[in-house]
Copies of this chain bind each other. A is one copy, B any other.
Amino acid sequence: MSHDLLIRDVRPMGGAPVDILVKDGRIAAIGKSDAAGTEILEGGGRLAIPGLVEAHAHLDKTLWGMDWYRNEVGPSLRDKIDNERRSKRTLGIDPARQSARQVVLSVGHGTTHIRTHVDVDTEMGVEAIEGVMATRAALADLIDMQLVAFPQSGLLVHPGTHELLDRAMAMGADVVGGLDPCGIDRDPKGHLDVVFGLAQKHGRGVDIHLHEPGEMGAFSMELIIERTRALGMQGQVVISHAFCLGMPDPAAVDRLIADLADARIAIMTTGPASRPAPPVLKLHKAGVVVGSGSDGIRDTWGPYGNADMLERAMFVGLRNNLRRDDEVEQALAVCTTGGAAMMGITDYGLRIGAPADMVLLPGTCLTEAVVSRPRDRIVVKRGTVVARDGEAFHQVN
Contacts and interface: CB of A to CB of B under 8 A. Distances in A.
Given A318-B273, A320-B274, A325 B71 contact: yes
Given A71-B325, A318-B274, A319-B273, A371 B301 contact: no
Interface string A295-319: 0001001111110000000110111
A303 B367 contact: yes
Interface in A302-353: 302-306, 314-315, 317-321, 323-326, 328
B274 A319 contact: yes
Contact of A315 (B273, B275, B302, B328): B273
A86 interface: no
A304 B298 contact: no
Given A302-B323, A303-B328, A324-B73, A364 B315 contact: no
A365 to B, nearest CB: 6
B325 A72 contact: yes
Q: Interface SS of chain A: helix, strand, loop or mixed?
A: loop
A304 B317 CA distance: 9
A72 B327 CA distance: 9
Contacts of A321: 274-275
Contacts of A372: 306
Interface in A55-73: 67-68, 70-73
Interface in A66-87: 67-68, 70-73
Interface in A20-40: none
A42 interface: no
A367 B304 CA distance: 9
A71 B324 contact: yes
A368 interface: yes
Contact of A364 (B68, B314, B317, B320): B68
B304 A70 contact: no
Given A274-B318, A301-B323, 15 more contacts: A68-B364, A68-B365, A68-B367, A68-B368, A71-B367, A72-B325, A273-B318, A273-B319, A275-B321, A303-B323, A303-B367, A303-B370, A304-B317, A304-B318, A304-B371
Query: How many copies of the shown chain assemble into the complex?
Result: 2
A271 interface: yes
Contact of A323 (B68, B73, B273, B325): B73
A305 B365 contact: no
Interface in A163-183: none
A302 B271 CA distance: 17
Nearest to A297: B371
Contacts of A303: 323, 325, 328, 367-368, 370-371
B70 A365 contact: yes
Contacts of A326: 72
A257 B106 CA distance: 42
Nearest to A328: B303
Contacts of A301: 323
Nearest to A375: B375
A372 B323 CA distance: 25
A275 to B, nearest CB: 8
Contacts of A318: 272-274, 304
A73 to B, nearest CB: 7
Nearest to A67: B364
A321 to B, nearest CB: 4
